[in-house]
Structure 1
Amino acid sequence: MKAVSVVSTGTVRIRPEHPYGSRKPMYWWLLTSRQWTPPRPINVYVIEHTRGLVLFDTGQNRASVTDERYFPGGLTGYLYDRLARFDIGEQDTLTAQLATLGYAPSDVDTAILSHLHQDHIGGLPELTGTELLVSAAEWAELSRPGPEQRGFLRGHIQLPGLKWHQISPEPTRDPALAPFTESLDVMGDGSLVLLPTPGHTAGSMSLLVRRTGRPPLLLTGDLTYGADILQRGQLPGVGRRRQLSQSTRQVLALEDQQPGLVVLPAHDPTAAQRLLDS
């Protein structure tokens, strides 16, 4: 492992009920909320591994703020408009952000998608030569009825020329991963280990990054929207509550097995500094 960095493909404002949860049903608060959070980053984690350059998530596509045809029309489009407000400049594209680290999209060997929501798949058009890993459970969501209404924009995911690989966790008896009983060793050397953390979506995954002589990292996608929120056991307002609760408990228990574990969600405003400090 050479280095782990974070870049941001712009910012997003969401409803407070989204990161902090609500007793109201999701569609109720989505349609009635009048508040937005302060801007939160749309993080992409860049892993410089000895076996190649790896991304965890790919950010939001700038076309989502420049192309009026990017989102569906009708009621579905209205719900997307109620859900989030994006600010993505020319300097926020995945290509531009990778350039700040001295890389181009063609340098990316592997991109791992924590899940397939819009603000994680935005860089896909720039990654035509990259091996794309997604959980089989997540990919199956695209075939269920009404994927767009459930946050999966198939037209921006199933693009021609992309190299998709569906993966599934395998049984593990590694005591260092307890209480997780399934995992997937991405590189075969234990440095990058995918863990199933469903709840936000059915196939959501987190990535454990083990670094020699430095604290391990856990990239959690949208399981939580802040490390502090996770520590409180507070569940976000989007997803299946029972699965979110179980995955949250597992991650909190994993911290006992991985001393100094640094949890890095996709939209945590403190993530970049905490990664730097680690």
Structure 2
Amino acid sequence: MTCLVKYLRVGQCRHLECIAARSGRLAMIDFPSFCGLIQHPHAGWILFDTGYAEHFFTATAKLPQRLYRTALPINLPKEEVLLNQLTALGLTACDISAVIVSHYHGDHVAGLRDFPRATFFAGKVATQEIQSFAKTPWQATLAGKLPGLLPDDFEKRINYIDDYPTINLPEWMQPFSQGFDLLGDASLIAISLPGHSAGQMGLLIPDADGRPVFMAADACWSLPACKEGRLPSVLTNFFAPHGKAYEKTFIQLGQLAKREPEIRILPSHCESSWRLFKDE
């Protein structure tokens, strides 16, 4: 089943290039945040993550949450605000039927409150973790999680990805072998990408206007670095404590990217992947 996909830039933060890839420069650079906009023939308009939103600044107005945006300065130009981009495409927030959450770091879920009619899909472990942080703001902030970004009626709208039927992936997706069939038609398949954050999920769209697209969330930050086997700095283990699991996922993604160049792999912060996809 064919879906149409747009990959939208929704704000950016700044930090050292050498953090994202070993041997990178000791220089501050922009790390954009991207989200996927998917048009499904039956389910309508669906988002994969939301990128940044004004809610992020509200949620980080006071300590300890303010430390988050102090450590990672955020810029959200008006033209990159997701709601503004949807308006430019002739859509409204109410046209979004679902948001698939890769994980709950603030740069991926800051816009959830903007979509009052959307159903949410997310990993069970990931959801339980951020809910457990509601009364431990320091711990939440150190983990890059902001429970205040969740809508008030979030629990009524959340669907756990883990509860959906598993499906064997096509041979060309190896070493990834199984995923979760979110709509029952194998058009949107969530794939576990452990390591970076509890319960992180990517999204495979086998037929995105004639070619497969794999939204890889934060399984890597730079696809070129991933293909070359250049892991992020060990300092990132402070934010992604499951280092061994992250390394395994990173290596698997690099293997897939090198072997199957026709799959458009879109990490959530890789500008070169976005530019290539945008210009096709």
Q: Structure 1-normalised TM-score?
A: 0.84
Unaligned runs of 5+ in 1: 23-32
Cα distance change, pair 178–121 in 1 and its aligned pair in 2 (3 A): same
Query: 2:55 touches 2:149 (CA, 8 Å); kept in 1?
Result: no
1:45 aligns with 2:47: no
**CA deviation digits over 1:212-251, x for unaligned, max 9?**
6733111011111121121112223432221111112332
Counterpart of 1:30 in structure 2 is none
Counterpart of 1:28 in structure 2 is none
Cα distance change, pair 200–21 in 1 and its aligned pair in 2 (3 A): farther
Q: State the alpha-carbon separation in 2 of the partners of residues 231 and 175 from structure 1.
A: 21
Query: 1:106 touches 1:130 (CA, 8 Å); kept in 2?
Result: yes
Q: State the alpha-carbon separation in 2 of the partners of residues 212 and 268 from structure 1.
A: 19
Q: State the alpha-carbon separation in 2 of the partners of residues 212 and 126 from structure 1.
A: 26
Q: Which amino acid aligns with 2:158?
A: W
1:234 aligns with 2:230: yes
Q: How many residues align?
A: 262
Q: Which amino acid aligns with 2:46?
A: V
Cα distance change, pair 34–79 in 1 and its aligned pair in 2 (3 A): farther
Please state which structure has a larger fraction of its residues in helix.
2
Q: How does 1:162-241 map to 2 (within 5 A)?
A: 162=154, 163-168=157-162, 171-176=166-171, 177-211=173-207, 214-237=210-233, 238=236, 239=240, 240-241=242-243
Query: 1:55 touches 1:111 (CA, 8 Å); kept in 2?
Result: yes
Per the TM alignment, residue 2 of structure 1 is displaced from its structure 2 partner at its CA by 4.1
> CA RMSD, aligned part only?
2.6
SS in 2 for 1:270: helix
Per the TM alignment, residue 175 of structure 1 is displaced from its structure 2 partner at its CA by 4.7
> Among the aligned pairs, what percent are the same residue?
23
Q: Which amino acid aligns with 2:15?
A: I
SS in 2 for 1:220: strand
1:161 aligns with 2:162: no
Q: Which amino acid aligns with 2:60?
A: Y
Query: 2:4 touches 2:208 (CA, 8 Å); kept in 1?
Result: no
Q: State the alpha-carbon separation in 2 of the partners of residues 258 and 170 from structure 1.
A: 26
Cα distance change, pair 34–90 in 1 and its aligned pair in 2 (3 A): same
1:73 aligns with 2:63: yes
SS in 2 for 1:218: strand
Q: State the alpha-carbon separation in 1 of the partners of residues 63 and 85 from structure 2.
A: 30
Q: State the alpha-carbon separation in 2 of the partners of residues 253 and 190 from structure 1.
A: 23
Per the TM alignment, residue 261 of structure 1 is displaced from its structure 2 partner at its CA by 0.9
Query: 1:93 touches 1:123 (CA, 8 Å); kept in 2?
Result: no
Query: 1:235 touches 1:241 (CA, 8 Å); kept in 2?
Result: no
Q: How does 1:26-37 map to 2 (within 5 A)?
A: 35-37=27-29
